Amino acid sequence: MKKLKFDSYDGVCFLNGLVFFAPVALLVRTQAGVSEHVFFLLQALLSGVIFLGEIPTGFITDKIGYRKSLILAQVLLLGARSLLLAAFVSRSLALFVVEAVVEGTATCFTSGTGSAYLYDLYGENGYLVKTAHAENFGTAGFIISTVAYAGIYKISGMEGLLITTVVMDIIAVVCSFFLRSESSKAVIADRKEVQILAIFKNKKAFLFVISLAIFSIAWLLINFFYVEKLENCGLPVEWMSLIILSYSAVQMLAEPILGKLSDGKNGKSGREKLPAVTAAAAGVAFLLFGVVKFRAAVLLLMLILPLLLNLPEYLLMDLENQFVDEAECGSQRAATLSVLNMGVNLVEILTLSASAFLTKIGIQWCFVFVGCFLMAIALLFARIQK
């Protein structure tokens, strides 16, 4: 596997990972007088903006180019973080609402764009490893911010966390201007209009939408309910920070693992089996996590579950781009990927709105159900790759 050099895209990913208020994101709102109920409504609003903006921003991206879209996204993200700081200082619910809209718009411009950008620059062979490589820099930023937040919070409070994050976003905007331009074929003034929604005539499109939705639910369970699993096993909640740092470090193994698995030595048939095999492994791990109560086993699964989920997710993104090429939608790649991503946003809206229901039926069963769905996805991938 050829070792990838650090570039400006890696730098942007690293700086975007430096969200110093992330460990106390809920407190940013509640300390400013926002109730937990309103917090979830703000998150649902964020997902709603992304859902509605996916296709329009996808078309804009295909018109202006991937690089310009990524720069615009960074500028909007800086605006959102600045609004968050202003909303916290002024205790203004209206500004929190505006912040959610701006952040959602920023997310729309990155949704599908980063994937399309890397696929254009690195092609089918290099896309997978480069994606994991860049994500590792984002994870490294997340680890650093998680370690540093306690000290910053003690010295300068919540304002210090928000200001430090805004400063990192300013540097990220500057760094984004040094992004490589995509190939000239990706930006064509006179594009042939493609009926993107026609891709749903192909059954594979529905498989991608359903799979992305399941991955979204899986990450919501990890992000919101890992703590509850700790409590149910009688483990101290104070361990959560250490667990987050540990599983983030383990996640960084995705790059070398995918590099080994997809380097071509296993042959084309071997590579084609990877999405099904990795999705099945993630499914089994989720199912076990839902039912196992032995502390050592729970801790082990907590450490490896995010990595096991990352592997099929990256492979799915690679297959998505190949599918776009097969559907002859390459000239409108960002818009096409945005259409496929819309299912994710819809599921997030429903999941956030139904968060109370999820806790009533038992979180352990949610992990079991997601595990079963992931194994079902593995079977479907195995069938379509034959």
Nearest to 41 by CA among 100, 84, 81: 100
Domains of the chain: 8-177 (1.20.1250.20), 196-385 (1.20.1250.20)
For residue 327, the model assigns a pLDDT of 73
Digit-by-digit pLDDT tens for the chain (386 residues) are 456 788 999 999 999 999 998 877 778 888 898 886 787 788 778 888 988 888 888 888 888 999 999 999 999 999 999 999 999 999 999 999 999 999 999 998 987 788 889 988 988 788 888 998 999 999 999 889 988 888 898 899 999 999 999 999 999 999 999 999 887 554 444 444 445 666 777 778 888 888 888 888 888 788 777 877 887 888 776 787 788 889 989 999 988 888 877 665 655 555 678 889 999 999 999 999 999 988 899 999 999 999 999 999 988 888 888 888 877 776 777 777 777 777 667 766 666 565 545 556 677 888 888 899 899 989 988 877 65
Biggest alpha carbon–alpha carbon distance for the chain: 62
Nearest to 226 by CA among 250, 243, 248, 214: 243
Query: Which pTM value belongs to this model?
Result: 0.75
Placement of tokens 């990155």 in the chain: 110
Q: Give CA–CA dist 81/19, Å, rounded.
A: 10
- On the CB side of 366, how many CA atoms lie within 13 Å of its CA? 25
CA dihedral over 264, 266, 271, 277, signed as positive or negative: negative
Q: What DSSP state is assigned to residue 186?
A: G
CA distances from 133 to 5, 128, 130, 250 (A): 9, 9, 5, 14
CB 258 within 8 A of CB 136: no
Per-residue tokens: 144: 């650093």
